[in-house]
Amino acid sequence: MSDQEQPQIYLITPPEFELSQFQAQLSSVLDSHAVACLRVSLATHDEDRILRAADACREICHARDVAIVIASHIALAERLGLDGVHLGDGARSVRKARKVLGPDAIVGAFCAGSRHEGMNAGEAGADYVAFGPLGASALGDGTQAEPELFQWWSEMIELPVVAEGALDESIVKALAPATDFFAIGEEIWTRDDPAAALGDLIGAMR
């Protein structure tokens, strides 16, 4: 596989983090590897904490020409000058997000393991669909997406596809020919050296 065909990296923040420590970690990872996009995805519902975290991450990402989206919060994406939004409810909010954020914003949709939902999201105007998890995970309802889904999608559908949830080196190696992006979060942030952990996953694609 040539470098041009290699899937791109789409980072996801941890659900909980201490801001100054994560800023240093994120900067290190972005300075070490080519990353296409970061998703701010926090467990908290405290809008002030989300705002501060997203604003800090935006500065780091935009200084390095990395796109940044936020999970679910369409209004905050617009307010903070982020590049778009990642929706966790399949196709349901895609049209609304597109109407609010405009034609140039990134609008992505998590569609669990549903080919039908993915196609609906694409028809509604999503820029990408994400399927997952690929292993044991609390993502979605925990039902794993089948590897065959990515193979079918890459052969039949032009819309970019993202693999996310419980990725490891063997899954990354197997799916690399059939996915456009790997969304990676807890897989690296829970490690002592996130940049090195990401390097191992990137190495598995080759």
pLDDT recorded at residue 3: 41
Amino acid identity of 165?
G
Q: Is 1's pLDDT higher than 70?
A: no
DSSP 3-state of 126: coil
Each residue of 130-171: pLDDT tens digit?
Answer: 999 999 998 998 899 999 999 999 999 999 999 999 999 999
Each residue of 84-120: pLDDT tens digit?
Answer: 999 999 999 999 999 999 999 999 999 999 999 999 9
pLDDT recorded at residue 5: 80
Using omega within 30 degrees of 0 as the cis cutoff, is the peptide bond preceding 133 cis?
yes
Query: CA 83, CA 164: separation in Å to the nearest integer?
Result: 20
pTM equals 0.96
Q: Shortest CA distance to 25 belongs to which of 201, 198, 206?
A: 198
Torsion of CA 83, 88, 183, 114, to 10 degrees: -130
Each residue of 29-38: pLDDT tens digit?
Answer: 999 999 999 9
Torsion of CA 24, 185, 66, 161, to 10 degrees: 170
pLDDT recorded at residue 138: 87
Each residue of 36-60: pLDDT tens digit?
Answer: 999 999 999 999 999 999 999 999 9
What top-level class would CATH report for the domain 3-166+177-189? alpha beta
